[in-house]
């Protein structure tokens, strides 16, 4: 899936997010630690739904013997997005600003657009402060920057599977 395809599908999926079903909520609870679950529960409905979709893709790619910490990393990789307090159209606009300005520069804007574009660093810090496992917070901080994946401590094939599950 191309990045553009991923963004388009995510946009339309966010317009009418399906609630996370009870079976998936139970699965999430079985994977996350209590502090991680508290963070996941603060996500908006669209972000919770998307996190479950990404985590299921990651679980399929990694196989039945996958370490639950990798699935937790998939579930919480976008935890920082909630801090921007942007709806679907605002997020789409922020993405366009990031493309036009370059995400590296735009993430430093002192507004909600900058916060949204810096969701990776913000999410990593949020997860660290909450007491999440180090691999989970490290992946949240690095998931959009492949050059940082080796520093996460995740094996390279795991990082690649998590990125592919997220459409990166």
Q: What is the pLDDT of residues 72-127, one digit of tens each?
A: 999 999 999 989 888 888 888 888 888 888 767 777 888 898 888 999 999 999 99
CB atoms within 10 A of CB 111: 10
Helices (H), the chain: 3-15, 22-31, 34-42, 45-62, 68-76, 88-101, 103-106, 112-117, 119-130, 134-142, 156-165
Average pLDDT over residues 143-151: 93
Q: How much is the pTM? A: 0.87
């Amino acid at each position: 899936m191309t990045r553009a395809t991923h963004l388009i599908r995510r946009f339309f999926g966010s317009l009418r997010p399906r609630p996370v079903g009870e079976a998936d909520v139970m699965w999430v609870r079985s994977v996350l630690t209590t502090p991680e679950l508290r963070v996941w529960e603060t996500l908006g409905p669209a972000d919770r739904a998307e996190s479950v979709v990404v985590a299921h893709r990651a679980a399929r790619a990694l196989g039945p013997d996958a370490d639950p910490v990798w699935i937790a990393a998939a579930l919480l990789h976008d935890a920082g997005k909630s801090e921007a307090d942007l709806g679907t159209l605002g997020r789409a606009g922020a993405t366009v600003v990031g493309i036009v300005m370059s995400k590296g520069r735009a993430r430093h804007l002192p507004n909600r657009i900058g916060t949204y574009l810096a969701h990776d660093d913000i999410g990593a810090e949020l997860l660290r402060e909450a007491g999440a496992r180090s691999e989970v917070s490290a992946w949240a901080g690095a998931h959009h920057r492949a050059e940082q994946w080796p520093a996460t401590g995740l094996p390279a094939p795991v990082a690649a599977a998590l990125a592919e599950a997220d459409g990166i």
